[in-house]
Structure 1
């Protein structure tokens, strides 16, 4: 049985809350700082399936789920700084979240995993995480896939640039499927995803917002991917795993967020592999 509470991050320049998930009876031995997916264009902190929360909290890991500002209203420098600010807030105010200061790990799905990897690699955190869980994440290590039209999304009904008029122009930390998902589809159909999340010279995108110049992460990495991922190529996963000698789980299927089905054998196997990685870090 797990319980949840909301924590307000008052020092940030716009309203923002985090959700803390913990087991009702078991004392945790570490905390997972979680960041959601959505291509940096949609999503919110409530996207974790209950089965993930239940398995991890039962195993002794509290979870803190954060929002972050979404593109195109926010660009990558602001998004990453917000993620780092959330991590720093936990490190500076741990008792606002959990009963005692606990070691922390970073956990993200898709774009959230990219942000976790980037935050760990940037060297701006007061102390490094004990580990990173990357579910179908990326580091823009392979060329072209993120700035070329996606053959998968080109099979969807065409989405016009008018979709951009339906989302807020001001900074906002959540985006529903109903209002924001069409922007992601549009971006992937047109091959303009990078242009919506980043402004500046391409040279600095690769220097500052990819993992190409980061030879070593400050902690162990676990990464998971499906062989037929429709959003992030399997080659990107292979490059990430090889570059950082990561522990991994591979699902032989053709879905991006393959763990969204709680009844899937792939979901169960992924959570088993994640817990094995975590238990090894903490000698549980």
Structure 2
């Protein structure tokens, strides 16, 4: 059963989480949705995945967060920190799940944010990244995308038609034009972070997971299609190799022939197999 609660209130912006509580002392998965920090919503998490994870014995907290460009990049990161803190300190007023065993899971930009939690003061017990990325400063994001440039070009005026002035967590699909513009021009970093890699490199590197891996980085599972047209497969490979190189427990599951958002085809045998490994990984690190 789902319960929705506001985990953070800022002025006129309420930020919500859906809680799927599975009982006393159950370990917790905090899920972060995709959308390049520009669009998307917690409602994107497929029911099939929710049921699979909760049936495996995990309580699930599926969060929204404020979106760019209306909300500053650093504040978006703050929302993620606050969501984890809410689970650990406030949500236990209603749910007696096991706050000592929390995993963070996300897809695409949610995967990026999940990987970033491994660099924070409070670190989850495990991280699951579905086609996420650990390097926002790579050329894949800072230069025009060959893939997106083959699509109809989006002018800046068109891109900002559905971007507003008030902060929002409601990442309606029509905001994707702003993302297309960013990828076609190679300006995602500038538009989303309001920082320029040429002048603000040191500050940006603070938010670049691959540059901030420590010896206490959590065990991490990567899942990525090797034909991903949005986030290069190599993004997971590089993070995996970096973690493995310093002795962090990690695993990379390559979905052969798969593009972005492969996990939404939940009936695919490859996806079914991948989720068996996801649950095994989570049980290994959260159910000791």
Quote the residue 1:243 is aligned against: 242
Give 3-state SS (helix, strand or coil) of 2:44's partner.
coil
Among 172, 175, 180, the alignment partner of 1:176 is 172
Inter-CA distance 97–213: structure 2 relative to 1 (3 Å threshold): farther
Gaps of 5+ in 1: none
Superposed counterparts of 1:122-271, under 5 Å: 122-123=120-121, 125=122, 128-140=123-135, 143-162=138-157, 163-177=159-173, 179-200=174-195, 201-216=199-214, 217-245=216-244, 246-271=250-275
| Distance in structure 2 (CA, Å) of the matches to 1:94 and 1:166 | 34
2:96 is the alignment partner of 1:99: yes
Relative to 1, partners in 2 of residues 1:20 and 1:97: Cα closer, same or farther, differing over 3 Å? farther
Q: Deviations over 1:220-245 (max 9, x none)?
A: 11111111111111221111111112
Distance 1:156-1:203 versus aligned 2 partners, 3 A rule: same
Query: Structure 2 CA distance, aligned partners of 1:233 and 1:166?
Result: 27
Q: Could you state the TM-score of these two structures normalised by the residue count of structure 1?
A: 0.90
Of 238-247 and 165-174, deviating more is 165-174
Note closer, same or farther for the CA distance 1:182–1:61 as it changes in structure 2 (3 Å cut).
Answer: same
Task: Give the aligned partner of residue 34 of structure 1.
Answer: 31
| Residues 108 and 130, structure 2, Cα contact 8 Å, conserved in 1 | yes
Deviation digits for residues 153-205 of structure 1 (CA, Å, limit 9, x no counterpart): 1222222212213221221112111x211111121112111111112333134
CA shift at 1:114, angstroms? 0.8
Misfit runs of 4+, over 4 Å? 10-13
> Is residue 206–residue 212 contact of structure 2 (8 Å, CA) maintained in 1?
no
Between 94-103 and 245-254, the greater mean CA deviation after superposition: 94-103
Structure 2 match to 1:64: 61
CA–CA separation in structure 2 for the residues paired with 1:113 and 1:242: 17
- Alignment RMSD (CA, Å): 1.9
Q: Distance in 2 between matches of 1:144 and 1:222?
A: 24
Shift of 1:262: 2.0
The secondary structure found in structure 2 opposite 1:157 is: coil
What CA distance in whole angstroms lies between the structure 2 residues aligned with 1:42 and 1:80? 15
User: 2-side partners of 1:211 and 1:9: how far apart?
Assistant: 25
Larger mean CA deviation between 234-243 and 93-102 belongs to 93-102
Q: Give the secondary structure class of the aligned counterpart of 1:15.
A: strand
Secondary structure, in 3 states, of the residue corresponding to 1:145? Answer: helix
Asked if 1 retains the 8 angstrom alpha-carbon contact of 2:38 and 2:179, the reply is yes
Q: How many residues align?
A: 276
TM-score by length of 2: 0.89
Q: In 1, distance between residues paired with 2:172 and 2:93?
A: 28
Task: Indicate if the aligned counterparts of 2:119 and 2:213 stay in contact, CA closer than 8 A.
Answer: no
